[in-house]
């Protein structure tokens, strides 16, 4: 029988079980009827990756610190259950909204909630850095942001927030095959809860990225020839056109 407090016992047990799992960047772990997610430090098996990405343990420690700092400000981010030098064990916060959207299980209200949740993050002076739909979860009531990696900011400027919003809109346009109505709902949710200054900054940044469309033209042509439904290349122009039209 363990003499640890229940919280410490849970943390120690989950870390022991996570240590026995084969390596995976993200793994599911079930214990006592609850699901948890184990995020493991990457393994860089060559010098190029080590030089480009840096030390994996340091990156994981930074993410853990950012999650705790965001949570201290009341931000809706993944809750850390346990952590060591190689692993983060996170609570289950529901279904990634990318999966819900692709399965058609999404309402306009949920789409607006996604935009509103990002605006709330920004209102707390924070920037996610890469709020793509696979890193946003919904449990039936609340939105939660995952994966605070290199771009996350604790003292975000309007420039940082505009970048967040552009990334979110672009992710919507890729995931929904450039469905303008669905992306508009996200934008509406953000604008209702956010600030006009960030929206105008987003529009200016989008206009200044005209050169990305030129770079994407060969990829656009190939994807259209192949009839690709979700195209990262086509979504660049579609995103800029949508932002300009609002």
Predicted confidence (pLDDT) per residue in 102-158, tens digit: 988 899 999 999 999 999 999 999 999 999 999 999 999 999 999 997 789 999 999
The answer on 73 and 176 residing in a single domain is no
Of 32, 61, 91, which marks where a domain is finished?
A: 91
Say whether pTM exceeds 0.85: yes
Point out the least confidently predicted range of 44-53, 54-63, 183-192: 44-53
* CATH code (residue 225): 1.10.510.10
From 68, 91, 114, the end of a domain falls on 91
Domain count, the chain: 2
Looking at residues 7-14, what average pLDDT do you find?
Answer: 90
Q: 171-186 pLDDT, tens per residue?
A: 999 999 989 999 999 9
pLDDT for 44: 59
Give the Cα-Cα-Cα angle 162, 213, 217 (nearest 5 degrees).
150
82 and 151 share one domain = no
- The band of 203, judged by pLDDT with boundaries at 50, 70 and 90, is very high
Residue 231's pLDDT is 92
Q: What is the pLDDT of residue 1?
A: 42
Both 180 and 109 in one domain: the answer is yes
Structural domain of 12? 6-91
Cβ atoms within 10 Å of 18's Cβ, excluding its own: 22
Q: How far is Cα 221 from Cα 122, in angstroms, rounded to an integer? A: 36
| 102: in domain | yes
The candidate with the shortest Cα–Cα distance to 244, out of 198, 211, 207, 196, is 207
């Amino acid at each position: 029988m363990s003499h640890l407090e229940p919280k410490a016992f849970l943390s120690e047990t989950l870390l022991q079980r996570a240590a026995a799992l084969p390596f995976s960047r993200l793994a599911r772990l079930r214990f006592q009827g609850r699901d948890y997610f184990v995020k493991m430090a990457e393994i860089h098996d060559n010098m190029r990756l080590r030089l480009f990405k840096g030390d994996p343990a340091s990156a994981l420690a930074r993410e853990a610190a950012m999650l705790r700092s965001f949570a201290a400000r009341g931000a809706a981010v993944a809750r850390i259950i346990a952590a060591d030098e190689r692993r983060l064990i996170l609570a289950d916060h529901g279904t990634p909204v990318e999966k819900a959207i692709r399965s058609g299980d999404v309402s306009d209200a949920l789409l607006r909630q996604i935009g509103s949740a990002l605006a709330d993050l920004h209102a707390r002076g924070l920037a996610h850095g890469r709020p793509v739909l696979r890193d946003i979860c919904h449990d039936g009531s609340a939105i939660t942001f995952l994966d605070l990696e290199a771009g996350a900011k604790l003292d975000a400027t309007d420039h940082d927030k505009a970048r967040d919003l552009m990334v979110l809109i672009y992710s919507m346009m890729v995931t929904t095959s450039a469905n303008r109505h669905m992306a508009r709902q996200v934008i509406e949710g953000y604008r209702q809860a956010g600030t006009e200054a960030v929206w105008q900054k987003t529009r200016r940044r989008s206009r200044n990225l005209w050169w990305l469309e030129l770079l994407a033209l060969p990829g656009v042509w190939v994807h259209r020839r192949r009839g690709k439904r979700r195209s990262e290349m086509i979504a660049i122009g579609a995103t800029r056109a949508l932002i300009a039209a609002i």
